[in-house]
Amino acid sequence: MIELSNKSTERAMLVALQTRKQSRELVEEHLSELEELSDTAGAESIFKIIQTKTSIDPAYYIGKGKSEELALMIELNDIKLVIFDDDLTPVQVRNLEKLFNRKIIDRSGLILDIFASRAKTREAKTQVELAQLEYMLPRLTRAWTHLSKQYGGIGTKGPGETQIETDRRLIRTRISHLKDKLKGIESQRETQSKGRKDFVRISIAGYTNAGKSTLFNLLTKADVFAEDKLFATLDSTTRSVTFNPKEKVLVSDTVGFIRKLPPNLVASFKSTLNEVRDADIILHIIDLAHPYYEDHLKVVEETLKEFGSEYKKEIKVFNKVDLVNDKSKIEYVRNTYPDSVIISAQKGINISSLLKIIENIIEESFVEEELTLGIEQTKLASKIHELSEVTSVEYNHDTVLFKYRTNKENSEKIKKLIKHTS
């Protein structure tokens, strides 16, 4: 048990469970991250508790005996909020609320609360509301504990149950409405995406608080909000950058990833995270100064796989090197991840190397070709304009010579079109 002394609003107790499948060190690290999340949400972490148990208790998560012990601590120390590091079942929430007589939040609920407070755009607000309602739906009974003494069974259905059923119907209707709204937003994004075909698209992805927005601001000369807190950025932001006179480049900053990210939230933010899926190059930002940076790296890689982005051209960018005192750590990264780059976005260290790597990838990924078409092949000519950057057009009687530049994927598409029309 560790007593903390932060200055904030609601006094909170943080609770984690160590089972035989987990090491103590890993659980402590997860709990420290939960503390960062609670700080971001505005809670004052008074106690951090780790209960050791062979498996999760289905009724009380940490077991009834330990829960009763915590109930006394909560009462004596005027704790207003208890936050659990894992997702709780509706049964566990109901039992713990009854025993503690305090607000109970699990990790997913806490992350959703942070997202709700930080959502600024119409899209982000819609995405967060959808995730919250889907999270709330199976847990709705906890809001009606004052009616728990109603008798159940045939002929005795009480008003509490009727009210819950009414609320469930309202929530399901709202969920349906929000999903339709997000489909419209996604459709708009796809239309915008088609208009960006002439640009190389770079997406900055990474674990939350790895320094994505700081790097984005450095590359694009933008002024996106960046803060040393988890989930400082929720909304995807895109800016154009000129790397050299030839290249039109769009750089996108995206929401950060985190372990145990609520599945409802990932699903809701699909349209935003499609910025990563549709990118030509992914800059995967890793906080080298964090003691568990390789765990964070794996979490992001797994999330990228969920979106089908694991085969994209990815540059691993190890950030915050200015905060690393252990030179062997830097050497380890150079040997283990030879194609990566080590930088400090805050201090501007080694940014020129990162830019050079990006330029080389762009150069390798694009080809310059030429094609002669008959003057009547207007559909094919239109497709070349759609799939490439046409650099010149020369007319010669009944033929047209196109010179164009495109990525290798679109080059193959053009070749297939020619083959089918010949």
Q: What is the 3-state secondary structure (H, E, C) of 309-370?
A: CCCCEEEEEEECHHHCCCHHHHHHHHHHCCCCEECECCCCECHHHHHHHHHHHHHHHEEEEE
Q: Provide the token pair at 51.
A: 């209960």
Identify the pLDDT of residue 221: 83
Same domain, 220 and 104: no
Q: Which phi and psi angles does 263 have, rounded to 5°?
A: -55, -35
**Residue 359: inside a domain:** no
Asked if the model's pLDDT at residue 143 lies above 90, the reply is no
Asked if the model's pLDDT at residue 160 lies above 60, the reply is no
Same domain, 251 and 385: no
Question: Helices (H), strands (E): how many in the chain?
Answer: 14, 14
Same domain, 259 and 335: yes
Residues 330-356 have a mean pLDDT of: 95
pLDDT in tens, 234-247: 566 788 887 665 66
Identify the pLDDT of residue 125: 83
What are the CA-CA distances from residue 348 to residues 39, 214, 343 (Å)? 28, 10, 7
Same domain, 206 and 337: yes
| Torsion angle of C-alpha atoms 134, 137, 139, 143, degrees rounded to 10 | 120
Same domain, 185 and 212: no
Identify the pLDDT of residue 146: 37
Same domain, 338 and 213: yes
Read off the DSSP letter of residue 143.
G
pLDDT in tens, 284-337: 999 999 999 999 999 888 888 876 666 678 899 999 999 999 999 999 999 999
**Residue 166: inside a domain:** yes
Same domain, 28 and 131: no
Residues 393-405 have a mean pLDDT of: 89
Same domain, 242 and 217: yes
Same domain, 206 and 309: yes
**Residue 361: inside a domain:** no
Distance of CA 245 to the CA centre of its chain: 33
Residues 343-349 have a mean pLDDT of: 94
Asked if the model's pLDDT at residue 344 lies above 90, the reply is yes
**Residue 197: inside a domain:** no
**Residue 360: inside a domain:** no
Q: List the single range of 241-245, 267-271, 279-283, 378-382 with lowest mean pLDDT.
A: 267-271
Same domain, 14 and 101: yes
**Residue 356: inside a domain:** no
Residues 167-180 have a mean pLDDT of: 86
- How many domains does the structure of the chain reveal? 4
Same domain, 188 and 265: no
Which residues lie below 8 Å from residue 283, measured CB to CB, with a gap of 6+?
Answer: 202, 203, 204, 205, 215, 314, 315, 317, 354, 358
**Residue 76: inside a domain:** yes
**Residue 357: inside a domain:** no
Identify the pLDDT of residue 17: 95
What are the CA-CA distances from residue 124 to residues 232, 236, 268 (Å)? 13, 9, 9
Same domain, 249 and 166: no
Owning domain of residue 91 = 2-115
